[in-house]
Structure 1
Amino acid sequence: MESKKLELATLGGGCFWCTEAVLLEVKGVEKVVSGYSGGNAPGKPTYKEICSGLTGHAEVIQLSFDPDIISFHDLLMIFMTTHDPTTLNRQGADVGTQYRSVIFYHDENQKKVAEGVLSELSSYYEDPVVTELSPLKIFYEAEDYHQDYYRNNQSQGYCNFVITPKLAKLRKIHADKLKNAI
């Protein structure tokens, strides 16, 4: 049996709990890990340090996906249309550089695809797209309690009022790309 060749993508769309919950539902996505990237502070950061806004890191997810099932382009289209890429350093009530919209590319091909998606979507939004595009330097896995946060905390207020509506939007506009297509 031939093993799948998985690729990595690292994306920040505000709170990593939201981005993780959305992308876990996409066909071809094998694993999603919440974490931090994009900062300059030395050592592995903690959630408390990230929340201070002083580390320069963003809340991100790193996902493993099968490009034979879902292309990087299609992943980015889902990512870009399930958060607001036009608000600088914020998503809803979450404010600070740690909540910025960002694509950390892993190679030149991902950079090229991301540039194309950003260009393609720029006319879709009334306001300018402010999503950062940067090379991935390092990814730090977040603390265990952040992993599978939505699945483990669905009755929590933030999940009900912020994540559940994002999942409804995902299911409406990207139904054909989901693991449990309706």
Structure 2
Amino acid sequence: MTHDIAIIAGGCFWCTEAVFNELQGIDSVQSGYIGSSVANPTYEQVCGGNTGHAEAVRIAYDTDVISYGDLLDIFFHTHDPTTLNRQGGDTGTQYRSAIFPQNGVQAGEAEAAIARNQASWDNPIVTSIEPDAPWWPAEAYHQRYFEKNGASNGYCAAVVAPKLAKFRKGYAARLKGR
């Protein structure tokens, strides 16, 4: 077993975390903040758009089960990488589409994934490849948010649930428990 870390930002971390938590080979998914030198940001600060952080997820995964390239392909299929600083109704740099490679190999794979996935989109992919930066875990109540609050939270019901249903349909063979 070989394990690695991937850090990606694709809008609201509740959505991204819910998707990747369901994949085979995923050890853990943590919601958090990355992309700025501001230390210990809070959700309120990041949502205000003034810290420079992106809402992101830190994925620990088993490379014998799922590759970094596969994670990036799923990332590109589960959010809109063609809208700058926006995912649905969420707007601002904190909702940007970004990849934070952990090493040179991941950086090369990120560039290849953008090129490979461009054919799936009518508009240019605007996902940025950003340098690794300090990772700040989001507050405890954000972790596994959809799992704990999906049925009772309006945003989750309107945004996360449909995204997760589409993901499950398209990636049924790659879900945990299959």
TM-score range, shorter chain: over 0.9
Output aligned runs, 1:39-118, within 5 Å: 39-41=36-38, 43-118=39-114
Tell me the CA shift for residue 134 of structure 1.
1.2
Which residue does the alignment assign to 2:175?
178
Q: What is the number of residues matched between the two proteins? A: 177
Where do 5+ consecutive residues of structure 2 fail to align? none
Q: How far 1:5 sits from its partner (Å)?
A: 2.6
Match of 2:155 among 154, 158, 179: 158
For normalisation by structure 2, the TM-score amounts to 0.97
Superposition TM-score, scaled by structure 1 size: 0.95
Q: In 1, distance between residues paired with 2:90 and 2:129?
A: 20
| Residue pair 2:46, 2:54 contacting (<8 A) in 1 also | yes
Q: Which position in structure 2 is the counterpart of 1:26?
A: 23
Q: Percent identity?
A: 48
Query: Which deviates the most, 28-37 or 163-172?
Result: 163-172
Letter of the 1:144 counterpart = A
Partners of 2:150 and 2:119 lie apart in 1 by 34
Q: Which letter maps to 2:6?
A: A
| Letter paired with 1:20 | E
- CA shift digits 1:62-93 (9 cap, x unpaired): 01000000000111111110000011001000
Alignment pair present for 1:125 and 2:144: no
The range that moved more, 66-75 or 168-177, is 168-177
Deviation at 1:136, TM superposition (A): 1.2
* Shift, 1:40, TM fit: 3.1
2-structure distance, mates of 1:138, 1:74: 24
Instruction: Decide whether the 8 Å contact of 2:100 with 2:130 is kept in 1.
Output: yes
User: Would you say the 8 A contact 1:107–1:135 is kept in 2?
Assistant: no
Contact 1:33 1:147 in 2 (8 A): yes
1:148 aligns with 2:144: yes
Separation of aligned partners in 2, 1:29 and 1:106:
17
Q: Is the 8 A contact 1:36 1:57 kept in 2?
A: yes
Partners of 1:167 and 1:150 lie apart in 2 by 10
